[in-house]
Amino acid sequence: MKNHIIGLLVLGIFTISCSDKLAPLQKDALPATVVTQPLPHDTDDPAIWIHPTDATKSVIIGTDKDTDGGLYMYDLEGTILKKSISLKRPNNVDIAYGLKIGKSTIDVAVTTERETNKIRIFSMPDLEPIDMGGIDVFVGETERDPMGIALYTRSSDGAIFAIVGRKFGPSGTYLWQYQLKGTENGTVGAELVRKFGNFSGKKEIEAIAVDNELGFIYCSDENVGIRKYYADPAKNDNTELALFGQKDFKSDHEGIAIYKKTPTTGYILVSNQQANTFVVFAREGTAENPNLHLKLAEVSTSTIECDGADATAVNLGPQFPKGMFVAMSNGMTFHYYNWEDIQKRIDSGK
294-317 pLDDT per residue, tens: 999 999 999 999 999 999 999 999
As to burial, measured by CB atoms within 10 angstroms (0-12 exposed, 13-18 middle, 19+ buried), residue 180 is buried
pLDDT for residue 245 is more than 60: yes
Per CATH, which fold does 2-348 belong to? Neuraminidase (2.120.10)
pLDDT mean over 147-165: 97
Res. 221: pLDDT tops 90: yes
Distance CA 217, CA 211 (A): 6
**Percent of residues in the chain assigned helix, strand, coil, to nearest 5:** 10, 45, 45
Cα separation, 123 vs 125, in Å, equals 6
- Quote the percentage of the chain above a pLDDT of 70: 94
pLDDT value for 338: 98
pLDDT score of 18 = 41
Residue 84 has pLDDT above 70, yes or no: yes
Q: What is the pTM of this model?
A: 0.93
Quick check: 7 pLDDT over 60?
no
Domain residue spans of the chain: 2-348
> Looking at residues 158-176, what average pLDDT do you find?
97
